[in-house]
Amino acid sequence: MKNLRHGFTLIEVLVSVVILSVVLVGFIKIQNENISIVNNLFSKKISMYENTLFLNDNISFYNKQNIDAYTALSSHFFITNDKTKSALSAIKREITVERAKDKFNNVTFNKLILKDKNSTIKYTF
């Protein structure tokens, strides 16, 4: 008589489980890397938007000071909302304004540095 095979052997099942687990671990590592990249980009985007709060004409008066966004904007805007004041007061940057060492065609360049986790440099003339 013919000996018929009814199902999978234990070794076949174990090999398939090991292969599936290796593939799933690879997918999980790739997903974690993608999540960390997206989180990093998101934090840089938020920091970029927060840095724009400090880019006004009077920011050079706060040279070498650690100020908040409410202080930087209070000379331009009259803010009465308490939630807005507290949100702007929580955003702080260290301001450094440096004069450029070289003059180029009678134009003086200033270098504005906003120091934070994601620092920003702006050149003005």
Give tens-digit pLDDT for 21-43.
999 999 999 999 999 999 999 98
**What residues does each domain of the chain span?**
11-124
Asked whether the whole model's pTM tops 0.85, one would answer no
Contacts of residue 72, defined as CB under 8 A and 6 or more positions apart, other chains included, come to: 53, 54, 56, 58, 59, 62
Q: Where are the beta strands (DSSP E) in the chain?
A: 65-68, 92-99, 110-115, 120-124
Give tens-digit pLDDT for 81-106.
889 888 888 888 888 888 776 666 66
Q: Max alpha carbon distance in the chain (Å)?
A: 103
